[in-house]
A and B are shown apart, each in its own frame.
Chain A
Amino acid sequence: MSTIPVRLRVNGVDHELEAEPRLLLVHALRDELGLTGTHVGCDTSNCGACTVHLDGKPVKSCTVLAVQAEDVEITTIEGMAGSNGELHPIQEAFWNDHGLQCGYCTPGMIMAAAGLLAENPNPTEDEVRHGLEGNLCRCTGYHNIVKAVLDAAKIKGPTVGVES
């Protein structure tokens, strides 16, 4: 089992790991860096629970090797709230609109929604639904998730999104 050095910049903080090349980004975040807000729900890039941002764009961290994420800015759910604990508008909207139940898909949903709103600040309901097609939720039936994303867009208008 040979390892290589892997440098990751996560939520603005630099980390250096010694890792096997096969280490998946999601496991690097969870098991090596203790950022357990990013979840694993499937093996096949379907469920989106592991969604994080690479340079501001949502990707599925179960299908990215940790080493592939060198030299980019990684943002996880833990990096979404402000440093003073102020919630991101999308987090706030998920809370207000009951956009979560068991909470397992939620970090991935919020990261996918942030990517969607960064690209399309005023989406229609249909655009939100398609924008979230890479994220599965078994609890909510998506109704309140879609509502939360639309509400977050309404509240913050075109400036919503993640700074990267």
Chain B
Amino acid sequence: MIPAEFDYVAPDTLDDAIAALKGGGDDAKLLAGGHSLLPLMKLRLAAPTLLVDLRKVPGLEGISRDNGGWRIGAMTRHADLEHAPELGVLSAAAGTIADPQVRNRGTIGGSLAHGDPASDLPAVLLIADGSVTVRGPGGERSIAAGDLFQDYLETAVGADEVITSVQATGLDEYGFGYQKFNRRSEDWAMVGVAAVVKRVDNVIEDVRVGLTNMGNVPLRATAVEEALRGAPPTPEAIAAAAENAAEGTDPPADLNASAEYKRHLARVLTRRALTEAAGLS
């Protein structure tokens, strides 16, 4: 399987990349690691006429501390996130993406821009109160994670905009858990749950739960969060709260999982992720 024909440019600057993207119109696409886009192009489910490769654009890689949070260059590879345990749940989730070869190529910016609710990072970005910085012909803007994912494979990033970096809150005082359920370890998540818990004086002061592949977009399990905020970090409280995990979800059924089964998995995995995050496991 091979992609349909396209033109290709690899600009040296971000401005040139944005200009090329704009010039290419609706059928131009950015190429970062290519591990979401190229597979679709090989199966001819996508056929952009122009690829604008970001590989020569400087300054798009790297992980740094920024105002108590994290700034991660859009071209930072999953493997780099995996090997930065200080990123907490983000690192844990990145380490479960596909396989080592894919993690060596795939990028955080590319993954978020693709907007696949089955990928691991979007739900994590949601609970990290993250955002992406994008640059377009009109300049730079920030898109909060909650606004980024609009629908299945649809994001708020404009056709002529480039994600340049990803911001995430530090979550330094939070415990975390990432539970990914799949049939094989290289598979996409059938359901994934990311949880962070902040305990103060034996009370859960804050809790956030993100759900992967439970709808057209990554979701926050707000009913779980509400049930648990202010509660004691006990197995019973967590189990009771986790029962709400599927509330408001609309998971897509597939060959290996009915919607009902996915809802069940969401509840089980939420309990497990919270147990881990609360330090009870």
What is A's interface to B at a CB cutoff of 8 Å?
A: 1-2, 4, 20-22, 24, 27, 43-46, 48, 51, 54, 57-60, 62-65, 67-68, 112, 115-116, 130-131, 133-135
Question: Judging by beta carbons under 8 Å apart, are A115 and B5 in contact?
Answer: no
- Smallest beta-carbon distance B16→chain A, Å: 17
**A43 touches which one: B7, B42, B185 (CB < 8 A)?**
B42
Question: Judging by beta carbons under 8 Å apart, are B6 and A46 in contact?
Answer: no
Q: A21-B7, A21-B8, A133-B185 are in contact. Are A64 and B105 (CB under 8 A)?
A: yes
Q: Chain A residues near B5: list those with CB within 8 A.
A: 1, 20, 22
Count of chain B residues near A, Cβ 8 A: 30
In the assembled complex, the Cα of A133 lies from the Cα of B42 at a distance in Å of 22
In the assembled complex, the Cα of A59 lies from the Cα of B79 at a distance in Å of 11
Q: A43-B42, A67-B53, A68-B31 are in contact. Are A131 and B100 (CB under 8 A)?
A: yes
14 A/B residue pairs, CB under 8 Å, sorted by A: A22-B2, A24-B42, A43-B42, A51-B101, A57-B79, A63-B38, A65-B8, A68-B34, A112-B100, A115-B100, A133-B99, A134-B100, A134-B101, A134-B186
Q: Which of chain B's residues 96-112 have a Cβ closer than 8 Å to chain A?
A: 98-102, 104-105
Question: Judging by beta carbons under 8 Å apart, are B185 and A45 in contact?
Answer: no
Question: Judging by beta carbons under 8 Å apart, are A133 and B53 in contact?
Answer: no
Q: A63-B35, A130-B185 are in contact. Are A45 and B2 (CB under 8 A)?
A: no
In the assembled complex, the Cα of A32 lies from the Cα of B268 at a distance in Å of 51
Question: Judging by beta carbons under 8 Å apart, are A44 and B39 in contact?
Answer: yes
* Centre residue among B99, B105, B186 by max chain A CB count within 10 A: B99
Contact with A along B172-189 (1 / 0, CB 8 A): 000000000000111000
Question: Judging by beta carbons under 8 Å apart, are A67 and B34 in contact?
Answer: no
Question: Judging by beta carbons under 8 Å apart, are A63 and B6 in contact?
Answer: no
Q: Chain B residues near A60: list those with CB within 8 A.
A: 101-102, 105
Q: Chain B residues near A51: list those with CB within 8 A.
A: 101
B257 contacts chain A at the CB level, 8 A cutoff: no
**B51 touches which one: A21, A44, A63 (CB < 8 A)?**
A21
Known pairs A44-B39, A58-B100, A68-B55 / 5 extra A-B pairs, C-beta < 8 Å: A21-B51, A22-B5, A43-B39, A45-B102, A134-B99
Q: A44-B43, A45-B39, A133-B185 are in contact. Are A22 and B99 (CB under 8 A)?
A: no
B1 contacts chain A at the CB level, 8 A cutoff: yes
In the assembled complex, the Cα of A6 lies from the Cα of B256 at a distance in Å of 43
Question: Judging by beta carbons under 8 Å apart, are A45 and B35 in contact?
Answer: yes
- Smallest beta-carbon distance B27→chain A, Å: 14
In the assembled complex, the Cα of A54 lies from the Cα of B55 at a distance in Å of 14
Q: Which residue of A lies closest to B105 (CB)?
A: A59
**B43 touches which one: A24, A43, A46, A133 (CB < 8 A)?**
A43
